[in-house]
Amino acid sequence: MGLLSRLTATIKAKISKLLDMFEDPRETLDYSYKRQLELQQEIKKGIANVVTSKKRLEHQKTKLESSVNSLNEQAREAVAVNRDDLATLALERKKQMMNQIEALSTQIQDMKLEQDRLMDMDKRLATKVEIFRSQKETIKAQYSAAEAKVRITEATAGIGEEMADVGFAVQRAMDKTEEMQARSEALDELIEQGVIQEFGTDKTRVEMELEKIKDEADIKRELEIMKQEVKR
Amino acid sequence: MIIRILNENQYIVPSLYLDEINEIDNEIVRCIAKSDSEGFKKKYAELVEIVRSNGIPMDPATIKESDLIIPPADVTFEEARNIFIGEGLIPG
């Protein structure tokens, strides 16, 4: 069996289980409609999750970008006082952050795609749910007719497939947001541990050294002034 | 013949493409068996392209069962492999 026929068969088996659930086919219609409404809620939740996850990544990216600017500034200051070692350190850290920024950009793009996908599916499902609702009432009104049973099977199978599709998209988006969440937390930890030192909360080694140099210069100057005063 | 690309849309595709689709499907199975993820990607993109370029997208206001359901265009190699083992793509 090929990949495609296997996938088709799996989905159809699930739909046929749905069709066999009730003795009265009209109940199948009502149950299926109820599931559609639930699924619409799930898809909305899925979209909210993706948006939150995307915002979090964007926030981290902004933080890293401002760190890059600071590191650039520090490297310049270090060069000005002839401390190439410190400048190298700052540039190394900057490079590390740039790599993280690049990875974040890809992830943000990915989340955007997920968001668009879910929004498209939400729109499509809404159209189908509306059509199904009116079809369901028509079919139920004509239930005495023998063909009604066939129509119920057709309508339920058609919408069942749509529901399986949407359910899968929501599941996929949820898996992805969870994965992003984990990566995002790992990055937070990395920032905290100082492997990539977050600027503003804790001082980097470069910054401390530069301050030390400045302090030393200040002290030297003050000492000179004192010596002059004592001499007088 | 109605083909659904999951997470995308249903397409009405002339049945004459069925042989070609089956041929690619067999190659995809071989790629999965050999763990050839690059080959899989290429072959699957070809298949999606056949459906998209020869099919007419179905009106979203129609509710109809498909004759063939195929994975999303961006299906990963791991997801495709999962279709062969255990629960498959669609849980529950």
Q: How far is A157 from chain B (nearest CA, A)?
A: 6
Q: Which pLDDT does position B6 carry in this prediction?
A: 94
Cβ contacts of A48 within 8 Å, gap of 6 or more: none
Q: Which pLDDT does position B9 carry in this prediction?
A: 92
Residues A92-110: tens digit of each pLDDT = 888 888 988 999 999 999 9
Quote the CA–CA distance of A184 and A163 in Å, as a whole number.
Answer: 31
Does pLDDT of A39 surpass 90?
yes
Sequence-separated contacts (24+) of A193-197 with Cβ below 8 Å? A195/A96, A196/A64, A196/A67, A196/A93, A196/A96, A196/A97, A196/A100, A197/A67, A197/A93
Q: Which residues of A touch B9 (CB under 8 A)?
A: 124
Q: Which residues of B touch A3 (CB under 8 A)?
A: 25, 28-29, 32, 71, 80, 83-84
Over range B15-32, report the average pLDDT. Answer: 92
pTM, 2 dp: 0.78
| Beta bridge pairs of residue A175 | none
Does pLDDT of A20 surpass 50?
yes
**Region of poorest pLDDT, from A74-78, A163-167, A189-193:** A189-193
Tokens of A28: 């199948």
Cβ–Cβ gap A2/B26 under 8 Å: yes
Question: For residues B31, B34, B39 and B44, what is the CA-based torsion angle, rounded to 10 degrees?
Answer: 20
Cβ contacts of A66 within 8 Å, gap of 6 or more: A199, A200
Model ipTM value: 0.85
